Structure 1
Amino acid sequence: MKTNILKALLPTSTAGSLPKPAWLAQPETLWSPWKLQGDELIAGKHDALRLSLQDQQQAGLDIVSDGEQTRQHFVTTFLEHLNGVDFEQRKTVKIRDRYEASVPTVVGPVSRQKPVFVDDAKFLRQQTKQTIKWALPGPMTMVDTLYDDHYKSREKLAWEFAKILNEEAKELEAAGVDIIQFDEPAFNVFFDEVNDWGIACLERAIEGLKCETAVHICYGYGIKANTDWKNTLGSEWRQYEQAFPKLQKSNIDIISLECHNSRVPMELLELIRGKKVMVGAIDVASNTIETPEEVAKTLREALKYVDADKLYPSTNCGMAPLSQQVARGKLNALTAGAAIVRRELATSN
């Protein structure tokens, strides 16, 4: 199926995950185990993907995704398919320097025997002519979501992951994916590493791609560990200031970030002037559904620092921990808010 070229002003999308149906996995829960097995699980994931796509289309999103229906977690599902990562040998580590989780161990050289998400991406491509986006975990965030007992170096392991991600990304592009997004919440935490090797590893992951590329950097899902951490960050969240100057010079096309109901000073967007910016205008840490006017207000503020043809309204982060009803309401608010600002831009020209 050939895709439509994205021509809409302020094209809308989600940052990543959407809630899974209750018959597939426990709702409103991260790392929720599958309720199906074998062929039933494969069919169930595809059914969930179709329903997720339908929700996005009914809300009027311009850029659609799989809603991450085919994966249990945005990092560990990719890790499960790699050689050198042992899920039986688990360790408790501190993730993103703020909460503990039981994670797999790197026990030998990491490699990818076969594509991880390509069949799912092909399935999504068959369902729609719209622009499709696919998310992969970024190298630094992958390193931060396991225990390394082999390389004993975060940087060395990140470079290995970058090569593997590049292989996967090239096959996703060949499967018809228009935008490949790398999720790097770790970029808001490990600032020295981001600038020393994190962005360089990201550039290795996108090497040779002709499709659009994005990096998603947020303050995390709306789970207690993340909201507790945010409460310690003071009146201004300036973490983006550390990575933006180098990202502005990078080959990444789109930078996806958190804005609505956050304490991120909007003027920080000036540091990435010239890049396309996926502006988070929907709070994923609250069950309150935004009004279209609240979304429009966030977008108007962003337009002071981002050219209109480069602004992509989105959600702050994934919505897996929310109920389907709340997520649908938030998607509708996003598209309605973007429509308000589109009309304003049309009348002002």
Structure 2
Amino acid sequence: MIKLLPTSTAGSLPKPSWLAEPETLWSPWKMEGEALMEARQDALRVSLLEQHNAGIDIVSDGEQTRQHFVTTFIEHLAGVDFERRETVTIRNRYRASVPTVIGAVARETPVFVDDARFLRTQTDAPIKWALPGPMTMIDTLHDTHYRSREKLAWEFAAILNAEAKELVRAGVDIIQFDEPAFNVFFDEVNDWGIAALERATEGLECRTAVHICYGYGIKANTDWKKTLGDEWRQYERIFPALQASSIDLVSLECQNSHVPMELIELLRGKKVMVGAIDVASNRVETPEEVAATLRKALNYVDADDLYPCTNCGMAPLSRTVARGKLAALAAGAAIVRRDLTGL
């Protein structure tokens, strides 16, 4: 049974320096073959231990076995050529060299199932596993085959659904789909994006979540945030449709952001993973600061539905900073939990 105000991370945690270059996205592995497989499992054990030691209730793999939250999944699919690359604009924000869809996309083998099965053997805690969402996947590719963002998204939704079902059988309790693209392509989100996401969750015998944030704490994202003004109301465009959807949990960014907290009211009835940790700063929050964010959120979401979380993944941070932030999240949630229960 999950306790009141269960804590979790939004996604990635820093990798050990012996596995990949620290504080770096898309960092290449420092070994290969059997040595890499063993090293990634060791990193997973370390990441899990650090979550347990910090007091995190719903644990994850910390994305220790993948280089990137989107491309590592795509690397395992047929129909995508990683040698044929084009430079595109991702999420209307920054330019990047991406692989090309040259044929029908297909998942010929499981991608993360063995990793999830291994994680399940290491802990009795509830496990949350993140997968890229369909819309964010299509925004990270150059497509010469389908020539339709919607058609490709539906293909990816079916592929993700097959992977998610096997992850559940491997022991995962919550499947989270990362959709930062939902904060950019509002018309598409409401026209077909949420429907595609629901296709990805179809028939899953677990809780489902969608993570929608303003991105990692990298320069391209922090520069973009500076253009958004004093109030970030992007969530307002999509939360009503998400509230009406079959998705169980919605993960959003709150700490040190300009998101009006009252927007959470648009999700009333859903479980909300309230981002109470700023991943774009090396400053470690105090437990009291985390508690203050959670107390404010409680004006708009019932206590039974509030899941304290981080704003986004923490792969670009140092392990020391990330450990401090995890501990602050757990301690801040404990303060509010005592306020509510007296325990």
> Which of the five TM-score ranges fits, normalised by the shorter chain?
over 0.9
Q: What is the aligned partner in structure 1 of residue 253 from structure 2?
A: 258
Aligned residue for 1:201, secondary structure, equals helix
Q: Do structure 1's residue 143 and structure 2's residue 108 form an aligned pair? A: no
Aligned residue for 1:131, secondary structure, equals coil
Q: What is the aligned partner in structure 2 of residue 124 from structure 1?
A: 119
Aligned residue for 1:63, secondary structure, equals coil
How many residues align? The count is 343
Q: Which amino acid aligns with 2:9?
A: T
Q: What is the aligned partner in structure 2 of residue 114 from structure 1?
A: 109
Matching residue within 96, 99, 120 for 1:101: 96
Q: Where do residues 1-349 of structure 1 align in structure 2 (5 Å cutoff)? A: 5-6=1-2, 8-347=3-342
TM-score, normalising length: structure 2: 0.99
Segments of 4+ moved more than 6 angstroms: none
State how far apart, in whole Å, the 2-side matches of 1:12 and 1:262 are: 19
Aligned residue for 1:90, secondary structure, equals strand
Q: Which amino acid aligns with 1:81?
A: H
Aligned residue for 2:20, secondary structure, equals coil
Q: Deviations over 1:278-298 (max 9, x none)?
A: 000000000000000000000
Q: Which amino acid aligns with 1:132?
A: I
Q: Percent identity?
A: 78
Q: Deviations over 1:130-159 (max 9, x none)?
A: 000000000000000111111011000000
Q: Deviations over 1:182-202 (max 9, x none)?
A: 000000000000001100000
Q: Which amino acid aligns with 1:51?
A: V
State how far apart, in whole Å, the 1-side matches of 2:169 and 2:139 are: 29
TM-score, normalising length: structure 1: 0.98
CA shift at 1:210, angstroms?
1.3
Q: Which amino acid aligns with 2:91?
A: R
Aligned residue for 1:64, secondary structure, equals coil
**Segment drifting more, 265-274 vs 339-348:** 339-348
CA shift at 1:70, angstroms?
0.3
State how far apart, in whole Å, the 1-side matches of 2:287 and 2:123 are: 26
State how far apart, in whole Å, the 2-side matches of 1:102 and 1:42 are: 27
State how far apart, in whole Å, the 2-side matches of 1:157 and 1:139 are: 8
Q: Which amino acid aligns with 1:183?
A: D
Q: Which amino acid aligns with 1:75?
A: V
CA shift at 1:346, angstroms?
1.3
Q: Deviations over 1:38-68 (max 9, x none)?
A: 0011101000000000000000100000000
CA shift at 1:347, angstroms?
3.5
Residue ranges of structure 1 left out of the alignment (5+ in a row): none
Q: Deviations over 1:56-96 (max 9, x none)?
A: 00001000000000000000000000000000111111111
